[in-house]
Amino acid sequence: MTMTDPIADLLTRIRNANQRRKSKVDIPSSRLKLEIARILKEGAFVDNYTLLKDNKQGMLRIYLHYGPGKTRVLRNLKRISRPGRRVYVNADKVPKVLGGMGVAVISTSQGVFTDAQAREAGIGGEVLCYIW
């Protein structure tokens, strides 16, 4: 069966594993998912990620990050642009998540950036998701 929204699947798997306080979660890999995992690691929302090779597309293993006493560092992930409704922003309209406390993931013509990186580079693009 074909998946219609693999990014929503990635976010849902991470959200569910985080709520159950799992140490890791495995997700079918793609280049876009690797870039989102890189942004999660840069923002200290996850500890690490690795690409596990298999005879298919590979699996992306994400190691979740928790604070003292297993308190969640990652509060929520929200899908913004969906296959049925794409959301694009110009460089001057790049959103701030929770007044700068969260991160917006933006797919641009130059790669996948955070909202701060897109503002610094002066480019807009498709808003994939919010992370806080």
pLDDT in tens, the chain (132 residues): 567 999 999 999 999 999 999 999 999 999 999 999 999 999 999 999 999 998 889 999 999 999 999 999 999 999 999 999 999 999 999 999 999 899 999 999 999 999 999 999 999 999 999 999
For the entire predicted model, the pTM comes to 0.91
Residue ranges of the chain that CATH labels 3.30.1490.10: 77-131
3-state secondary structure of 91: helix
The class level of CATH for 77-131 reads alpha beta
The predicted pLDDT at position 66 comes to 95
CATH number of 6-70: 3.30.1370.30
The structure tokens listed for 104 are: 């917006």
The predicted pLDDT at position 14 comes to 97
The predicted pLDDT at position 82 comes to 94
Residue ranges of the chain that CATH labels 3.30.1370.30: 6-70
CA distances from 14 to 17, 81, 101, 109, 127 (A): 5, 18, 19, 26, 19
